[in-house]
């Protein structure tokens, strides 16, 4: 009888919280989605926590629903993070190979990443991920995996992704207030890529654009490695706000109308039907055509894609995107979004649907771009567990507990020769 492990992904978004529970068979790596939960969220703005209690309540509702469906007690989760506080830059590390035979070991690579981690960042920043771009051995660059090769000098170009300390710690506090422990915190577009991109797309070059409620997240892959990431705060909620303002309706009605009748391009409207817009405060309902609604949605959707195109050009990787563009997230469900994106980017475009799991259980319910990040977090957790201790996509540790202002800070004791010899024999 094969054993299985449970992984839980928690996507804390601007408009909603999604929780996905997956069971992974140890021997076959078969993934079954056994539970999901969704709850509206009012405590996040542009990917940043603005109300801890409201966010914690939304997390608790989503987790309770997923727990009831799956029958699995949920205590530990992997959560995603986004927001315009996220920044990235590339740096280089250098170590000397320690082996007398000059053979590079996994420990040498770990030492290299430890050297990179000491890069100077502001006190208000924390490293989220360290992703090696390529390795250089004795001046020879372009090496993907140096382990087992010979050399004396080992270098690496590493993409460092950082987030604001306050934003990261508040995410942890929201989860903790909801009664959860956080195993890892993961950049949302990186997580989404595990759910909607396949290996071939990552290899030949692809840009993933995840259009959520509060932020649009961009991740560019080439040669199987994340090369660039960017996040900006224009996304699906802006589209909903435009509909709400022009039609004079509540946010919940504007969101419903966007999904049920919205089109991002006039050319995607097959029948220009009329739908009813509810009146506010007892006013008489009005009728609006789909083409009129499209005139509200199209300019904002075009703005989102143009901002994304600008970011892609700034990355200088646009000529290398042989697989084109993949759009995902809730706003990608607006009819005509795929065609509008193709017109804007002048590249092949497809909608990213979460995949990589069996079609039993709750599979159909999560085969939706809205669940790309939550499902991706499950894939990410499984991937990390399979290759731990990891070298690539190194994740920052959980934030340390802050000591009381008058409490003495305990400094780590350096190991002497006796301690090192003792540890050596204890490890044998």
Q: 394: pLDDT confidence band, cut at 50, 70 and 90?
A: low
Between 403 and 98, name the one with better pLDDT. Answer: 98
At residue 170, does pLDDT exceed 90? yes
CA end-to-end distance (rounded Å), the chain: 33
Verdict on whether the full-model pTM lies above 0.75: yes
Which stretch of 180-184, 214-218, 241-245, 380-384 has the lowest confidence by average pLDDT? 380-384
Task: Give per-residue pLDDT as tens, 74-93.
Answer: 999 999 999 889 999 999 99
pLDDT of residue 383: 86
Separation CA 366–CA 374 (nearest Å)? 9
Share of the chain above pLDDT 70, in %: 90
Between 377 and 281, name the one with better pLDDT. Answer: 377
The residue assigned the tokens 């991109």 is 197
Alpha helices in 29-160 (DSSP H): 52-70, 106-117
Q: DSSP letter string over 337-354?
A: HHHHHHHHH-S-EEE---
- Phi then psi for residue 159, to 5 deg, are -85, 120
Q: 4: pLDDT confidence band, cut at 50, 70 and 90?
A: confident
pLDDT of residue 281: 76
Mean pLDDT, the chain, whole residue set: 88
Task: Give per-residue pLDDT as tens, 297-354.
Answer: 999 999 999 999 999 999 999 999 999 999 999 999 999 999 999 999 999 999 999 9
What domains appear along the chain, each with residue ranges and CATH number? 237-296 (3.90.640.10)
Task: Give per-residue pLDDT as tens, 113-146.
Answer: 999 999 989 899 999 999 999 999 999 998 999 9
Token representation of residue 420: 């090192």
Separation CA 209–CA 88 (nearest Å)? 17
Q: DSSP letter string over 340-395?
A: HHHHHH-S-EEE----SS-SSTTHHHH-SGGGHHHHHHHHHHHHHHHHPSPSSSEE
Q: 2: pLDDT confidence band, cut at 50, 70 and 90?
A: low
Strand 16-25 to 31-40 pairing = antiparallel
CB 43 within 8 A of CB 161: no
CB 87 within 8 A of CB 104: no
In sequence order, what are the residues at sequence separation of 6 or more whose Cβ sits closer than 8 angstroms to the Cβ of residue 387?
none
The residue assigned the tokens 């956080």 is 182
């Amino acid at each position: 009888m094969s054993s299985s492990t449970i992984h839980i992904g928690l996507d804390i978004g601007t408009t909603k919280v999604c929780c996905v529970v997956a069971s992974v068979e140890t021997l076959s790596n078969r993934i079954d989605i056994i539970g999901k939960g969704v709850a509206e969220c009012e405590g996040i703005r542009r990917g940043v926590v603005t109300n801890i209690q409201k966010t914690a309540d939304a997390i608790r509702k989503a987790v309770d629903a997923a727990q009831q469906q799956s029958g699995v007690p949920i205590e530990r989760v992997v959560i995603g993070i986004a927001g315009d506080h996220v920044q990235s830059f590339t740096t280089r590390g250098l170590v000397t190979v320690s082996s007398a035979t000059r053979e590079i070991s996994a420990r040498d690579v770990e030492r290299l990443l430890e050297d990179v981690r000491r890069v100077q960042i502001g006190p208000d920043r924390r490293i989220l991920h360290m992703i090696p771009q390529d390795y250089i051995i004795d001046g020879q660059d372009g090496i993907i995996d140096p382990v087992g090769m010979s050399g004396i000098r080992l270098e690496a170009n590493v993409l460092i992704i950082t987030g604001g300390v306050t934003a990261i710690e508040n995410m942890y506090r929201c989860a903790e207030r909801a009664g959860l422990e956080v195993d890892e915190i993961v950049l949302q577009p990186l997580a989404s890529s595990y759910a909607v991109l396949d290996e071939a797309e990552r290899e030949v070059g692809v840009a993933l654009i995840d259009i959520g409620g509060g932020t649009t997240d961009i991740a560019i892959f080439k040669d199987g490695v994340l090369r660039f990431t960017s996040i900006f705060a224009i996304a699906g909620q802006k589209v909903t706000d435009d509909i709400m303002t022009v039609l004079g309706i509540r946010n919940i009605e504007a969101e419903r109308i966007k999904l049920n009748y919205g089109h991002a391009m006039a050319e995607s409207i097959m029948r220009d039907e009329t739908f009813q817009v509810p009146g506010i405060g007892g006013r008489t309902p009005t009728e609006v055509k789909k083409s009129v609604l499209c005139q509200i949605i199209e300019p904002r959707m075009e703005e989102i894609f143009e901002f994304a195109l600008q970011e892609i050009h700034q990355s200088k990787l646009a000529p290398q995107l042989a697989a084109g563009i993949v759009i995902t997230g809730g706003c990608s469900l607006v009819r005509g979004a795929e065609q509008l994106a193709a017109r804007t980017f002048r590249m092949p475009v497809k909608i990213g649907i979460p995949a990589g799991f069996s079609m039993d259980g709750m599979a159909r319910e999560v085969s939706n771009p809205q669940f790309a990040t939550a499902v991706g977090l499950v894939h990410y957790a499984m991937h990390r567990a399979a290759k731990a201790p990891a070298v690539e996509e190194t994740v920052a540790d959980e934030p340390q507990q802050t000591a009381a202002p008058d409490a003495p800070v305990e400094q780590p004791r350096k190991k002497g020769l006796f301690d090192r010899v003792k540890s050596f024999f204890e490890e044998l």
